[in-house]
Amino acid sequence: MENVDIARRLEEVADLLEAQRAVQFRVRAYRRAADAVRRLPKPLHEIWRERGEEGLREVTGVGERLATSLRILLSTGRLPMLDRLRGEADPVALIESVPGIGRVSAERLYLNLGIHSLEDLEAAAHDGRLADVAGFGRKRLAGISDALAARLGRVRFSERPHAADEPSVEELLDVDREYRSRAAAGKLPRIAPRRFNPEGEAWLPILHTERGDRHYTALFSNTARAHQFDRTHDWVVLYCDHHPEEFQATVVTSYSGALSGKRVVRGREAECEAHYAVPAAC
């Protein structure tokens, strides 16, 4: 990928963020990065090959988060932020892009294991979940792990961030509340997702918001499963770029158990129970 192509993608991210009313700090960051990449005296892919992510971080105007985005773009040819802003996010296509995983397996991993990202897939490869899927033997798992290590720029697998490093359920639920409230009031820009939208209707509200130094993007889920269960206006996907690796969470309405009727962060139900057990401050 040539520098001019990378710069154009970064500029498109900046344009879309501006159109979707993101904070100007983020818009300017992508514009500065695009200008820096365009002015480089050598191809960015050579800098990455020679010096890794440290070399990307030294590009003028590119911080840790943008360096991670550039590394993903250089290794996969895709920029997840841009896909999301365009309404093109397709987790199944992303999983299928890994050597050794076909379309059927990708759909099974997405639907049965809830895998949305390459980081999710890497964790499942190392914690034993992929071994439970038919057809994923030791040799195939080793190949997938090696491919992911190369794609994600890792020397070895590292565990997901500790719970203490993740946003609290209180914060995630507050972002979910802001998104659904502003979407219901018609106060958010809308994008036309490419998937499951043959008419090209701009129906999907998108929110860019901040909590401290964490930047969030929130959208209703536009996945096959959300459509299957008629939850496209209930399930909310939150993306947070506070960590070097983007953090993702899904918030849904629970329809069973002690949390019935409550908004719940998937995978953190116990914390949600504790959250709702605390009396509201007067």
Q: What is the pLDDT along the chain (282 residues), one digit of tens a residue?
A: 899 999 999 999 999 999 998 889 889 999 999 999 999 999 999 999 898 888 888 887 777 778 888 988 888 788 888 888 887 666 777 788 888 888 888 888 877 777 767 777 877 887 777 877 767 888 888 888 888 777 665 443 444 444 556 889 999 999 999 999 999 999 999 999 887 888 889 999 999 999 988 899 999 998 777 888 899 999 999 998 765 566 788 999 999 888 999 999 988 899 999 999 865 543
In a domain, 86, yes or no: no
The 3-state DSSP class for residue 251 equals strand
Tell whether 198 and 232 lie within a shared domain. Answer: yes
> Which residues have a Cβ under 8 Å from the Cβ of 65 and sit 6 or more positions away?
241, 244
Maximum C-alpha span of the chain: 60
Tell whether 59 and 128 lie within a shared domain. Answer: no
236-240/247-253 β-pairing: antiparallel
Tell whether 260 and 181 lie within a shared domain. Answer: yes
Tell whether 76 and 97 lie within a shared domain. Answer: no
Domain residues for the domain of 43 are: 3-80
For CA atoms 111, 117, 120, 122, the dihedral sign is positive
User: Which of 17, 50, 80 is the C-terminal boundary of a domain?
Assistant: 80
Q: Would you say 213 and 229 are in contact if contact means Cβ atoms under 8 Å apart? A: no
Tell whether 210 and 240 lie within a shared domain. Answer: yes
Alpha helix ranges (H) inside 77-206: 80-86, 91-96, 103-113, 118-127, 138-151, 169-184
Tell whether 168 and 232 lie within a shared domain. Answer: yes
Question: What pTM was computed for the model?
Answer: 0.69
Tell whether 21 and 108 lie within a shared domain. Answer: no
**What domain count does the chain have?**
3
Tell whether 211 and 262 lie within a shared domain. Answer: yes
